[in-house]
A and B are shown apart, each in its own frame.
Chain A
Amino acid sequence: MPQTEAFVQRIDKALANHQARQNLRATMDRLKLKRLQQFPDKRQLDDLRHQAKSIRQKTLDHLPELLEQLEEKLTQNGIQVHWAETAEQANSIVHDILSKADAKTVVKGKSMVSEEIDMNAYLEQQGIEVIESDLGEFIIQLAHEPPSHIIMPAIHKNARDVAKLFHQHFPELAYTEDVDELTLSARKILRNKFASADAGISGVNFAVAETGTLCLVENEGNGRLSTTVPDLHIAITGIEKVIEKLEDLPPLLNILPKTATGQTITTYVNMISGPRKDNEKDGPREVHLVLLDNTRSDIHSSDEFIDTLRCIRCGSCINHCPVYVQVGGHAYGSTYPGPIGTVLEPQRIGLKQMGDLTSACSLCGACAEACPVQIPLPSLINRLRAESNNQQFGNSRTSGKGSLRNRSEAMTWKLWSFTHARPWLYAIFGWTASRLRFLAPSKLGGWTKYRTAPKPAPQTLHELARQQGFDNE
């Protein structure tokens, strides 16, 4: 199974990099602590989570109506709305808008949806220059790498890596590993890009149906520059990002930065409700919103998996995942890593291609406890495991159900359940295993790579219990 092999190879590679693991561990520990400091009162935190969950749930329950309302309001406000069922459609819509405006250079604010549809590669193929302007995204664009975390895309790089990259791409700058100086260099390089770009592309954190407002949160100001300086702004978002009312915004804004990075609020909350008005002196004259489905409506149809769509992309589940902290984001080989990626990617791309992600989980539950909108991530991961092994399982529209079924594994479990359902057979099995324990193999493939092989005890538990005087037969 090439999917599994490739995954295991990426994991082995990640595990061998001890320095990177230590760095990641330290970062994640710090982020977890900072989050905790924002929520000194556990009960209050749970109230906030419940409220955030309710708001997102309410949205999903009325999604088609809210999308229509959003479209109507945005259109009234002068923002043009486009619908895309697939990545290809979304990319070609964006390209068409750019072509009509004769836009050749684009500055981008951070957008995971644009990563999901590989927008940069598409636009570059059409001869358009795309510059990522979020510092983390800028760094990984220089390195030709995908993000390894959904809100800290360059988390796998240290200052030395960045210094080398900058020196390689901008030899005119003096080599430095000082973070402040590197930041200043990036400021200088990107300022010119903002001033000269023909268009800005951004994601959206929340789209308010009531007022037709696109809300973006950020710390750097690159999002504001990308959406304000160029004459054309294209925003792209998944259809699930809508919220009903403006009053739904404060509770979500309250919990998002706190869970994501342990900040009380991001430096900027940018609320866009229209293009430049006639008498205004700046702001884009044209604003577009591309609403992307890309399997979200299929996920929406499942009573269990719909919870996936509550996600507000804070990354907290990733920060709390004991697997992510060991292997890092690139090992997943998916756009979205960590627990949310493990749930989202098999549904988005198919179990055949991505189902193995669900095996990189111990079902420890840390992600579900950290999630600000209470997505039951471990249950969903478990469900996807079942679906990947059983074509008939559930009534979701996940593609590739049963595609990871392994005959010998399935047979083993069948025998296991057959044996455990029959006391006499179980007794024979136990007796035989304990008496023939010297035959137990000392090498068990992947299992014994890092562990000793298990060996049956000389006597079964039942025998030992009987010797101690327990007898219920």
Chain B
Amino acid sequence: MNNARENILKRLRSKPRDTNDLQDNLIPDYGWDKEKKIERLIEQMQAVRTEVQRLGKNQWIDWINNELPKRKLNRVLAGSTKEGLAFKESAHHSLEVQDYSQNIEQFKATLFNQIDAGITTTRGGIADTGSLILWPDEQEPRLLSLVPPVHIALLKSDEIYESLAQAIESQHWENAMPSNALLVSGPSKTADIQQTLAYGIHGPKQLIVLILE
């Protein structure tokens, strides 16, 4: 198959090209202050049925402890981040908190069938599209935010960027991309049947974003 590579490249080189009519990429600059960014993010998220709560820095564990039993989301999966560990310490006794500490091969059955909600941190938010930035890693595996029917994401209010371009630039993504980076902008949805919007086709049916001061 090595021939294929050489043949393709040779054909592509048969006609050398010069670029003109180029312009620099515009990074949008909305000039939004913190409150405006939060406002815009919430507006965008709610437009696609994401639930958003604004909480004090240390209120989120209480919120989860209060809300999840009420909503019958008792089997909770958290990562081994500092937040995940803190939650496990103080989780309400009616919640059954699981660890994503095994490899998927051993954990698959539990993950797919016995978890009601997954909790993750985020690497920030994007105001103009209402998106969360997730960089899954060994502490917060990729499927933690995808397989459980409800995804609860913690977002720090001072880590919200105006745009994706700004986030990439500020966080220098080009230097070190993780094996998987994600933008998540709502619960899973589809309009493939008769162009009718339906939520929860494959990923989480519900996305709950807790914005922390």
Q: Which residues of A contact B (CB under 8 A)?
A: 23, 27, 30, 47, 50-51, 54-55, 57-58, 60-64, 67-68, 77, 82-85, 89, 93, 133-136, 139, 152-155, 157-159, 162, 179-180, 182-184, 186-187, 190-191, 194-195, 210-213, 219-222, 224-225, 228-229, 231, 239, 245-251, 253-254, 261, 264-277, 279-283, 291, 293, 297-298, 300-301, 303, 306
Contact = CB atoms under 8 A, between A and B. Distances in A.
A281 B180 contact: no
Interface stretch (B5-13, B65-73, B90-98, B114-122): B5-13
B25 A247 contact: yes
Given A60-B17, A139-B192, A220-B202, 15 more contacts: A27-B195, A30-B195, A58-B22, A62-B19, A219-B188, A220-B189, A221-B203, A224-B146, A229-B108, A251-B26, A264-B130, A267-B186, A272-B180, A280-B141, A281-B141
Contacts of B173: 211, 246
Contact of A219 (B44, B109, B190, B204): B190
B48 interface: yes
Where chain B touches its partner, the secondary structure class is loop
B174 A55 contact: no
A105 to B, nearest CB: 14
Nearest to A136: B192
Listed from nearest, the 9 A-B pairs whose CB atoms lie closest are A221-B203, A136-B192, A297-B11, A274-B179, A269-B183, A221-B202, A282-B104, A135-B192, A250-B165
B181 A268 contact: no
16 contacts: A54-B21, A54-B23, A58-B19, A83-B5, A153-B192, A155-B195, A183-B190, A224-B146, A224-B203, A228-B180, A247-B165, A250-B165, A251-B26, A264-B129, A272-B180, A283-B141
Contacts of B102: 281
A83 B188 contact: no
A306 B202 CA distance: 37
A183 B200 contact: yes
Contacts of B22: 54, 57-58
A267 B185 CA distance: 5
A423 to B, nearest CB: 43
B174 A246 contact: yes
A329 to B, nearest CB: 14
A64 B13 contact: yes
Contacts of A306: 17
A61 B112 CA distance: 46
Nearest to B203: A221
Given A47-B26, A267-B187, A225 B1 contact: no
A51 B130 contact: no
B81 interface: no
A220 B23 contact: no
B74 interface: no
A154 B200 CA distance: 19
B142 A139 contact: no
Given A246-B174, A247-B168, A82 B201 contact: no
A183 B198 contact: yes
B198 A282 contact: no
A181 B32 CA distance: 41
A272 B196 contact: no
Contacts of B46: none
B193 A63 contact: no
Contacts of A272: 179-180
B188 A267 contact: yes
A190 B112 CA distance: 12
B193 A139 contact: yes
Contacts of A210: 174
Given A219-B190, A280-B179, A51 B23 contact: yes
A194 B142 CA distance: 15
A353 B181 CA distance: 43
A93 B194 contact: no
B177 A213 contact: yes
Contacts of B177: 211-213, 246, 271, 273
B57 to A, nearest CB: 28
B99 to A, nearest CB: 10
A211 B177 CA distance: 7
